[in-house]
């Protein structure tokens, strides 16, 4: 498996887009940290960037890569290799590259300007999001042979999780505001990796008071160590589940 | 050696294979011919495990290989259109394949690499190569690991006359060594030259599977193209 990953890495690391992505992140993080006097504020701004850009770029890049490497896939499939191995090796190669770009673009500035627990949580959330959305992208890509449809599908995923989901949750909370929704709200957050990442970081910043009543619930649930273990676990599930599904689909796929 | 039994495959609404039965024996070149879209490539992809048949079996030495992967070390495959990762050099491709097939015991067969002078082009990136050169790479890779079964999908399409002559010679040499060889082709003189057996496919089923001698004796023709014309008219 690692052998295949090695060749995937050789292939991707020559990709200019990835380099541009890393530099773009680096410029944003450095400028945010140098513009804001209070690094905590910069982290909040950086968080919004990370939550929108990271999933989007991760997903589009992964989907495009998957389709562009279709020839490579065909070549590998005619060799004595397991299908699981081929797909997972590609995933590992690709997600390693995305994580490296993120660590370079955001991890290094955070390490310089804000080397504490909150910074670590932000970087951790970003890494998990990269892994998770690369897995989503693989799921979209193995589901259809058509490149345009695959990219469309992953954009839809992103649009749903990054934008629509919050609106739906707000709507539900508003409509059922007479009922006790505390536990359900926690569940809603867990069902969306982006929300989960946002809450985990925001609670560390101790501004949950600004989030009103819901903030108090979140603080109560996610604020202690149990909450952190819980959110890491759910994030891990968000990586493993789409990956497992795509392996299953890929095993039955006709190339 | 290699057998396909009652192979069925449907793509959407299109029934591409309608119960294919065929066996391929060692020391023989079997040519699979038929119109475009008659299911030749799909059958080959079923044997390779790239397409998973809806029903039926692929047997290698009487063992089912559907859904397995280790058996592919015994196959050498040359695709119709060889496509390779753009950013890799030819040398990297060869290194990678040797790396991935490290388990194999026999010595590497680099005859085609030498005859096609591919080593001189090892520094070139795959995307800069012409279609014919890529075909040469595919051919060299298919023969490199000395597999007992060779599957060549339109091997000489796109090769210059000299290169296709070299490839044909190589096929004959390997046949003499007792390899099981399957080729598909639309070029009848080539089939005449190479094949021992002919499988004629039509719309997803096998119309006939006969040896070259039988076919010629039946029709009284010496050229396969004419013999086919007689049989099908």
B63-88 confidence digits (pLDDT tens): 998 888 889 989 999 998 888 888 88
Contact A5, A93 (CB under 8 A): yes
| Residue A55: CB atoms within 10 Å | 25
* Token duo for residue B219: 């029709």
If you average pLDDT over residues A40-55, what whole number do you get? 88
Candidate from B45, B77, B87 with C-beta closest to A11: B87
CA nearest A12: which of A76, A91, A78? Answer: A91
Whether A207 has a pLDDT exceeding 70, the answer reads no
pLDDT tens column, A135-151:
999 999 999 989 999 99
What's the pLDDT at B33?
92
Whether A181 has a pLDDT exceeding 80, the answer reads no
**Would you give the end-to-end CA distance of chain A in angstroms?**
20
Instruction: Report chain B residues whose CB lies below 8 A from the CB of A79.
Output: 72, 97, 100-101
Residue B78 and residue A249: Cα distance in Å, rounded? 26
Whether B57 has a pLDDT exceeding 70, the answer reads yes
Domain positions in chain A are 2-251
If you average pLDDT over residues A227-239, what whole number do you get? 88
| Residue B127: CB atoms within 10 Å | 11
Strand (E) or helix (H) holding B183 = strand B180-184
Q: Which residues contact A248 (CB under 8 A, 6 or more apart)?
A: none
What's the pLDDT at A105?
94
Residue A123 and residue A99: Cα distance in Å, rounded? 10
If you average pLDDT over residues B145-168, what whole number do you get? 92
Whether B159 has a pLDDT exceeding 70, the answer reads yes
Q: Which residues contact A211 (CB under 8 A, 6 or more apart)?
A: A202, A218
Comparing A70-84, A206-220, B17-31, the range with the smallest average pLDDT is: A206-220
Interchain proximity B45–A254, CB inside 8 Å: yes
Maximum distance among all Cα pairs of chain B, rounded to whole angstroms: 53
Interchain proximity B83–A252, CB inside 8 Å: no
| B45–A contact, CB cutoff 8 A | yes
If you average pLDDT over residues B201-218, what whole number do you get? 89
Candidate from B79, B88, B101 with C-beta closest to A80: B101
| B83–A contact, CB cutoff 8 A | yes
What's the pLDDT at A240?
96
Residue B132 and residue A98: Cα distance in Å, rounded? 36
Backbone angles phi, psi at A60, to 5 degrees: -65, -45
* Token duo for residue A144: 């259809």
Interchain proximity B45–A82, CB inside 8 Å: no
Whether B233 has a pLDDT exceeding 90, the answer reads no
Interface of A with B (CB under 8 A): 3-4, 7, 10-11, 14-15, 68-72, 74-83, 252-255
Whether A192 has a pLDDT exceeding 70, the answer reads yes
If you ran DSSP here, which 8-state letter would residue B108 be given?
A: P
The fraction of chain A above a pLDDT of 70, given in percent, is 96
Mean pLDDT score of chain A: 87
Candidate from A3, A14, A80 with C-beta closest to B70: A80
What's the pLDDT at B105?
65
What's the pLDDT at A180?
80
Instruction: Report chain A residues whose CB lies below 8 A from the CB of B75.
Output: 78
Candidate from B52, B87, B101 with C-beta closest to A79: B101
CA nearest B139: which of B165, B120, B176, B177? Answer: B165
Alpha helices for A36-164 (secondary structure H): 39-68, 70-77, 83-102, 108-113, 117-143, 147-159
pLDDT tens column, A101-118:
999 999 999 999 888 888
What's the pLDDT at A254?
86
Instruction: Report chain B residues whose CB lies below 8 A from the CB of A82.
Output: 69
Candidate from B83, B96, B99 with C-beta closest to A74: B83
Q: Which residues contact A53 (CB under 8 A, 6 or more apart)?
A: A25
pLDDT tens column, B5-36:
999 999 989 999 999 999 999 999 999 998 88
Q: Which residues contact B23 (CB under 8 A, 6 or more apart)?
A: B1, B2, B3, B4
Whether A202 has a pLDDT exceeding 90, the answer reads no
If you ran DSSP here, which 8-state letter would residue A125 be given?
A: H
CA nearest A169: which of A190, A197, A152, A154? Answer: A190
**Domains of chain B, start order:** 2-232 (3.40.50.300)
Of all residues in chain A, the one with the smallest CA distance to B103 is A80
Interchain proximity A77–B84, CB inside 8 Å: no
Interchain proximity B73–A80, CB inside 8 Å: yes
If you average pLDDT over residues A56-83, what whole number do you get? 90
Instruction: Report the Cα B146 to chain-centroid distance in Å.
Output: 14
Between the CA of residue A199 and those of A122, A189, A193, A218, A228, what are the distances in Å?
A: 11, 8, 10, 8, 10
CA nearest A57: which of A134, A109, A121? Answer: A134
What's the pLDDT at B82?
82
Candidate from A4, A15, A78 with C-beta closest to B48: A78
Interchain proximity A3–B99, CB inside 8 Å: yes
Whether B197 has a pLDDT exceeding 80, the answer reads yes
| pLDDT band, very low/low/confident/very high, at A185 (cuts 50, 70, 90) | confident
Secondary structure class of B79 (helix, strand, coil): coil
Secondary structure class of A78 (helix, strand, coil): coil
Contact A252, B52 (CB under 8 A): yes
Mean pLDDT score of chain B: 90
Instruction: Report chain A residues whose CB lies below 8 A from the CB of B84.
Output: 71-72, 75
Residue A239 and residue A30: Cα distance in Å, rounded? 29
């Amino acid at each position: 498996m690692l052998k295949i990953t090695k060749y995937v890495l050789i292939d991707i690391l020559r990709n200019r887009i990835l380099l541009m992505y890393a530099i773009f992140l680096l410029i944003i993080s450095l400028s945010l940290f140098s513009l804001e006097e209070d690094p905590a504020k910069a982290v909040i701004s950086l968080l919004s960037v990370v939550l929108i850009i990271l999933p989007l770029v991760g997903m589009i890049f992964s989907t495009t890569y998957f389709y562009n490497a279709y020839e490579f896939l065909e070549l590998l499939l005619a060799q004595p290799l397991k299908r699981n191995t081929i797909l997972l090796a590609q995933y590992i190669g690709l997600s390693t590259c995305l994580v490296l770009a993120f660590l370079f673009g955001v991890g290094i500035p955070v390490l310089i300007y804000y080397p504490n627990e909150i910074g670590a949580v932000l970087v951790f959330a970003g890494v998990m999001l990269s892994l998770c959305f690369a897995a989503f992208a693989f799921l979209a890509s193995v589901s259809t042979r058509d490149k345009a449809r695959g990219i469309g599908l992953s954009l839809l995923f992103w649009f749903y999780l990054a934008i629509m989901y919050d609106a739906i949750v707000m709507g539900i909370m508003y409509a059922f505001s007479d009922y006790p929704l505390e536990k359900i709200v926690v569940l809603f957050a867990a069902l969306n990796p982006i929300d989960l990442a946002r809450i985990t970081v925001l609670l560390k910043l101790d501004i949950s008071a600004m989030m009103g009543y819901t903030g108090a619930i979140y603080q109560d649930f996610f604020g202690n160590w149990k909450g952190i273990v819980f959110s890491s676990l759910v994030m891990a599930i968000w990586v493993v589940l789409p990956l497992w599904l795509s392996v299953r689909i890929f095993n039955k796929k006709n190339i | 050696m290699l057998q396909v039994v009652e192979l069925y495959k449907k793509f959407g609404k299109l029934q591409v294979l309608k119960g294919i039965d065929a066996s391929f024996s060692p020391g023989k070149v079997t040519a699979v011919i038929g119109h475009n879209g008659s299911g030749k490539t799909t059958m080959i992809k079923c044997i390779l495990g790239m397409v998973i048949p809806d029903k039926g079996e692929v047997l290698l030495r009487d063992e089912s290989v559907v859904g397995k992967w280790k058996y592919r070390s015994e196959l050498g495959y040359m695709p119709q259109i060889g496509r390779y990762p753009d950013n890799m050099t030819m040398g990297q491709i060869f290194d990678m394949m040797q790396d991935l097939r490290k388990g194999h015991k026999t010595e590497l067969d680099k005859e085609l690499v030498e005859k096609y002078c591919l080593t001189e082009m090892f520094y070139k990136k795959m995307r800069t190569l012409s279609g014919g050169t890529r075909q040469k790479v595919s051919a060299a890779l298919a023969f490199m690991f000395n597999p007992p079964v060779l599957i060549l999908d339109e091997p000489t399409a796109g090769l210059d006359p000299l290169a296709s002559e070299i490839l044909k010679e190589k096929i004959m040499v390997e046949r003499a060594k007792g390899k099981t060889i399957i080729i598909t082709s639309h070029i009848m003189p080539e089939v005449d030259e190479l094949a021992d057996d002919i499988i004629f496919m039509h719309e997803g089923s096998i119309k006939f599977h006969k040896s070259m001698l039988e076919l010629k004796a039946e029709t009284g023709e010496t050229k396969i193209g004419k013999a086919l014309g007689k049989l099908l008219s």
